[in-house]
A and B are shown apart, each in its own frame.
Chain A
Amino acid sequence: KNQVEQSPQSLIILEGKNCTLQCNYTVSPFSNLRWYKQDTGRGPVSLTIMTFSENTKSNGRYTATLDADTKQSSLHITASQLSDSASYICVVRTFNAGGTSYGKLTFGQGTILTVHP
């Protein structure tokens, strides 16, 4: 069964500190992995996408890594800000069995990050 597990479930840090969120998946065949940020009461917004050949990708203070061999990804947030308080969702896409473009998405349950002043 395709699964995406995120850890920790929730995390509290002080403003200015760094943190790392984890995503482990068993999705196969793997196409890509995307991280979304979801503010409370809003829809998720894409932060970055990782494909099989990409190990690290940065988007401002966010850096995502992917180890396709161990099927693990991480999202590192540097110098956290109050506005980083949100749920971070890991989403993995499979290849469509027929080779066409639409692959199934499997969503993790999210990590709730709270940044305190």
Chain B
Amino acid sequence: DGGITQSPKYLFRKEGQNVTLSCEQNLNHDAMYWYRQDPGQGLRLIYYSQIVNDFQKGDIAEGYSVSREKKESFPLTVTSAQKNPTAFYLCASSPPAGGREKLFFGSGTQLSVL
């Protein structure tokens, strides 16, 4: 089945530690995104990539990093510089842009601080 797979489902971070969230898609989509979801707030864009080997900062990129070495993969690293990392992280992808494209989301990763 085509879709987006995020792993792990739950992740715990110790202070000063970097952690990496995995996102893989087999939908053959060019564009991929990372969003952060906090209770009572709308989704906020962390990073996005419209093509392999290229990515752009979103609204809240500080303390995060990404790579896009393969079309199928868009991992997100939460660095120790991110002082409030506890949140639900959603990866998404979309087909070639035409203005009406919808986002296909993964099932999310809940990151908590120990």
Contacts and interface: CB of A to CB of B under 8 A. Distances in A.
A43 B50 contact: no
Contacts of B16: none
Given A4-B42, A41-B107, A107-B42, A101 B90 contact: no
A34 B94 CA distance: 14
B50 to A, nearest CB: 7
A109 B99 contact: no
Interface string A68-96: 00000000000000000000010001010
Given A43-B92, A101-B97, A109-B41, A49 B102 contact: yes
A113 to B, nearest CB: 15
Contact of A105 (B40, B45, B100): B45
Contacts, number: 50
What is the size category of the interface that chain B forms with chain A?
20 to 34
A100 B96 CA distance: 12
B105 A43 contact: yes
A45 interface: yes
A107 B99 contact: no
B108 A32 contact: no
Interface in A39-55: 41-46, 49, 51
Interface of A: 4, 9, 31-32, 34, 41-46, 49, 51, 89, 93, 95, 100-103, 105-110
Given A32-B99, A101-B99, A102-B31, 17 more contacts: A31-B99, A32-B100, A43-B4, A43-B90, A43-B105, A43-B107, A44-B90, A44-B103, A49-B102, A89-B42, A101-B98, A102-B50, A102-B97, A105-B103, A106-B42, A109-B40, A110-B42
Q: Which 5 A-B pairs have the closest CB atoms?
A: A43-B105, A107-B42, A101-B97, A46-B102, A107-B43
Interface of B: 4, 31, 40-45, 50, 90, 92, 97-100, 102-103, 105-108, 110
16 contacts: A32-B99, A43-B92, A43-B106, A43-B107, A45-B105, A49-B100, A95-B99, A101-B98, A101-B99, A102-B50, A103-B99, A106-B42, A107-B42, A107-B43, A108-B42, A110-B42
